Chain A
């Protein structure tokens, strides 16, 4: 800090005060240059009047266990959002919900220029908290009952929980008159990663705004040894593990589907669908024994490299016919081998009539260059068939749709997975609130 030219009769530079507890004599340091209202003796658990030069005893409290220790020791300094803060106070608070006690910890931070700030910690979840400078407004519901939304600086916060917070244990300095056993009604409204809280003690209501912090950020800020305690469950204002804006993602998905449809219809309109070959053959079991395969007449594919569709029709009924095809380029000898089965079965069973297969088959061969082509066909058939006619149709440049279906699924699957993860995260968050999701409120013993 720049000091510049001090005024002639400026007051002396404030120093942290070292005093002794009037009860047990233990050393007490006042770190906040007179901002503290109360200070707690760590040895005998007396709450002392920090404004009184003699540190009058205001309250003595009993503690059940001696293992309540701040994770950040008093006197530790760290740079939080650009400001150096020193931890000057610590308290443990608790609330009872359905007979279960939940405990959390609050730390009082101090900077002589910026004043007081707070940190809270619950099960490894941290919040950086400051007192609201602008008063939030609360919307009341139509029955005039408990309000469900609060507004602060143009943002809307959803009611999460209202509970009584009891002060169980205190240590260090507090800028207010702290007492163990004091109960305040605390209401939290959330808009992750922020939480807006109102705390009512007697007639006085204090509003504060908190922002979620991860344990590792706290550990880095205060240069603490070891690792922060693992965060358990999902906290009320914890940012969603799914960083994606789910609504935006669905909008983008819908946009892509429209694009796919446009692409598909564009290609479908552009396709020539040109018939290049049509012939009907007859399969005779007797003939096939000698020479199974034969070749068709040559047909020409003109224009660009495109798809070739081969359609097969056979009037099978409770039979099958299998055709080994090869599409062969007369000029280059390049061949595409494929086998197609045409089978059609039907009958009756206990469920009624059924059918399987059909008398038509079609297949699309992608990326066939232009040129002169013929088909080599090798038919096989059901041993019970002595003979059957079949028709082969070849169409050049047909539109394909399957790729659009694959693209659609490839996009839909991650969108659904992300949506589901976002949904389950929000469900865990709200299951701890006063407004649990429906299914959870009816099931008991469902703890995280």
Chain B
């Protein structure tokens, strides 16, 4: 796979895109938020250092989902009134992108999915049922959250966003769905709760004493 290479317009450091469809990345050196244009990179902002957290995953962590290998290329750290969680942007070896979330060591993998007639945020209430891909889902939690920070490559531009509402939907199996209201058009993610051991993760962070 050819990896597009550019230089940071701010500090000149080499910027390598691991995922050809990435729209945004963060310069590892100067923390500039860089957005890809047709020709080069444009600095649109700057991120503060991410607060220290305890996710064992980091950029470059590799793993497996089913028979597909993936590598972690980016991250969004969300915060809500009871804590925070990470959505790690992963690139699958078939070129698609997915999200590996880590909420207090509860892991889930989800993919952006298309569906007709997604409800508006104001119309959703707890207990409501939806059927996507023949699978019924029930709304379990509605979480107002905000972006706490970003790192690495993302499939969309994040830099001007602050608050976002998430609607979590559960099924009677390990399958779950998330409605993301960060854009005017709601986005649907369908995923599965996964066990840490099943992900066969490599290049994890290490913890002092463990």
Q: Which residues of A contact B (CB under 8 A)?
A: 1-16, 32-35, 37, 82, 84, 111-116, 133-135, 137, 175
Contact = CB atoms under 8 A, between A and B. Distances in A.
B172 A134 contact: yes
Contacts of A35: 54, 104-105
Most buried by A among B54, B174, B208: B54
Interface string B25-66: 000110000000000000000000010111010111000000
B208 A137 contact: no
Contacts of A113: 56, 105, 196, 204, 210
Contact of A1 (B173, B174, B197, B204): B204
B52 A133 contact: no
B207 A33 contact: yes
B184 interface: no
A39 to B, nearest CB: 15
A423 to B, nearest CB: 34
B11 to A, nearest CB: 12
Given A3-B204, A14-B208, 15 more contacts: A3-B203, A10-B59, A11-B52, A11-B58, A13-B208, A15-B208, A16-B208, A32-B54, A34-B52, A111-B210, A113-B105, A115-B106, A116-B104, A133-B174, A135-B170
B203 A134 contact: no
A281 to B, nearest CB: 86
Contacts of A84: 210
Contacts of B206: 1, 3, 13
**For chain B, which range describes its interface: under 10, 10 to 19, 20 to 34, or 35 or more residues?**
20 to 34
Interface of B: 28-29, 50, 52-54, 56, 58-60, 83, 104-106, 140, 170, 172-174, 193, 196-197, 202-210
A112 B54 contact: yes
B106 A9 contact: no
Nearest to B103: A115
Contacts, number: 91
A112 B210 contact: yes
Contact of A14 (B50, B52, B172, B196): B52
B56 A112 contact: yes
13 contacts: A5-B203, A7-B28, A7-B59, A9-B28, A11-B58, A13-B206, A14-B205, A32-B54, A34-B53, A112-B54, A113-B105, A133-B193, A134-B174
B105 A114 contact: yes
B207 A112 contact: yes
Contacts of B209: 15-16
Most buried by B among A2, A14, A114, A175: A14
Given A7-B58, A113-B196, A115-B104, A13 B205 contact: yes
A15 B202 CA distance: 20
A34 B202 contact: no
A2 B208 contact: no
A2 B60 CA distance: 12
B207 A8 contact: no
A2 B50 contact: no
B46 to A, nearest CB: 14
A134 B193 contact: yes
B54 to A, nearest CB: 4
A254 B156 CA distance: 69
Given A2-B202, A4-B60, A34-B53, A137 B207 contact: no
Contacts of B173: 134
A-B interface, 8 closest residue pairs, ranked by CB to CB distance from nearest: A115-B105, A4-B203, A33-B54, A15-B208, A112-B207, A113-B56, A34-B54, A7-B59
A64 B189 CA distance: 52
B194 to A, nearest CB: 9
B54 A135 contact: no
Contacts of B50: 11
A117 to B, nearest CB: 10
A112 to B, nearest CB: 4
Contacts of B208: 13-16
A85 to B, nearest CB: 11
A14 B210 CA distance: 10
